[in-house]
Chains A and B, each alone.
Chain A
């Protein structure tokens, strides 16, 4: 989305493509934070 609308976003953001935001489980988000990510954005 950010790409198609030509939005600028910080280079430190690492996107992971997921079929549907409904697929995101709390454990995945917690894992990312546990591994040192500052935050998780669920967008779609």
Chain B
């Protein structure tokens, strides 16, 4: 990110949202809302303001494990390193204004709307962790049931516990930890897909981290299948087993808390070895949850008019042969916005997306097929049904009749099938051609 910010000609808009996208390949117009930080660009991220701030808010970066101040930097390595104020928590005491040496704080700042012109768009909206419903495997009910991302923050050296594994109920180091795999994924009542082995590999990594940090902690993983497909992944999994981490192939039958100790009693059945259900007691349970499309994907998909697959991720042009392009020329997908994948695959797709756009943008011309809808303006009644039915937003009703944007049009013909005045024809696929085909096929009947 730092490199991005330093590259000349590359503009980075953080804490911003895309509001509107119009136009077509080569000529997109994008409206961006730069949200007010209430801190101007003079800020150098020194931190004097948040040291004096008396108001606290939910720490999004640390998954709410510890509070943050109302004026804060989103995380320690944020680029650009600017403070921002959470106005829902700020009490406007003005202590930060006094503490700031560069006079960067401005309570009256307003959202800024930027309008930029771009030739092409890469959608890389990433993912969010699946949030289990309250009560499912004790989530949100028992304090010592946490999700994988929370554990990530607990194990992080810059996290709330400075890298020491502590459980939420009493802040003590757990004696044993259970990881539960496939929470919310590979589940017919929740998400049916597998998150491409990412949750498996995060668990393997975190079990190794726990063992490295505190070898006396007993670590168990309850899994359906360990999906360690990829270069060196299986070896990594085997190394984790060699370190003494127990892997039990099972579904969790019951999970209940001991109200006094807040330990968790888990009933599981090792389906590879014995066939009997057994109760085990764990100090900490980690739910390895599915990958979900990022929050806000609905908004982006309606702004860009992109389709989504049944799993909620953006739909690619072809799942096997072209997983990068979308149905709209000039808009491509990268990373988990298209489907669950690990870091290396996301990098591959990101680079592929960038180079496919570079190839498109380096030419001055854009070739289109001639199979496009054409309008006979004398017949057009300007009813607007074509505009309503166009999946690509390519036809507009103008005062002189409907007008087709030949770049946006994909030649599907949905407009002409709906045109009551038969004013639209599709080049090379005209009505009489089909009529002749039908007649010829049914000639001998």
Contacts and interface: CB of A to CB of B under 8 A. Distances in A.
B442 A32 contact: yes
A16 B414 contact: no
A31 B445 contact: no
A19 B434 contact: no
B371 A19 contact: yes
B371 to A, nearest CB: 7
Contacts of B411: 19
A16 B437 contact: yes
B442 A22 contact: no
B414 A20 contact: yes
B78 interface: no
B397 to A, nearest CB: 18
Contacts, number: 53
Contact of A22 (B414, B438, B439, B445): B414
Nearest to B411: A19
B445 A36 contact: yes
B173 interface: no
A32 B439 CA distance: 8
Interface string B368-405: 00010000000000000000010100000000000000
Nearest to B437: A16
B431 interface: yes
A19 B412 contact: yes
B136 interface: no
Interface in A15-38: 16, 18-20, 22-25, 27-28, 31-32, 35-37
A33 B283 CA distance: 71
Contact of B441 (A14, A19, A23, A24): A14
Nearest to A24: B417
A27 to B, nearest CB: 8
B426 A23 contact: yes
Contacts of A18: 413, 429, 434
Nearest to A35: B442
A22 B385 CA distance: 13
Contacts of B438: 16, 28, 31-32, 35
Interface in B423-445: 426, 429, 431, 434-435, 437-439, 441-442, 445
B416 interface: yes
Contacts of B417: 22-25
B238 to A, nearest CB: 38
Contact of A19 (B429, B435, B442): B429
Contacts of A32: 438, 442
B319 to A, nearest CB: 13
Contacts of A28: 431, 434-435, 438
A32 B440 CA distance: 10
Given A35-B442, A35-B445, A37-B442, A22 B389 contact: yes
Given A16-B437, A28-B438, A22 B412 contact: yes
A19 B445 contact: no
A32 B431 CA distance: 13
A20 B418 CA distance: 13
A37 B437 CA distance: 13
B429 to A, nearest CB: 6
Given A18-B429, A18-B434, A28-B435, A23 B412 contact: yes
A36 to B, nearest CB: 4
A23 B416 contact: yes
B429 A25 contact: no
Interface in B352-380: 371
A9 to B, nearest CB: 15
A28 B442 CA distance: 13
Contacts of A23: 412-414, 416-417, 426, 429
A16 B441 CA distance: 9
Interface in B228-270: none
Contacts of B435: 28, 31
A14 B434 CA distance: 13
A24 B415 CA distance: 10
Query: Nearest 4 A-B pairs (CB), nearest first?
Result: A23-B413, A22-B414, A20-B412, A36-B445
Given A16-B434, A18-B429, 4 more contacts: A19-B413, A23-B413, A23-B416, A32-B438
15 contacts: A16-B434, A16-B437, A19-B411, A19-B413, A19-B429, A22-B412, A22-B414, A23-B414, A23-B429, A25-B431, A28-B438, A31-B435, A32-B438, A35-B439, A35-B442
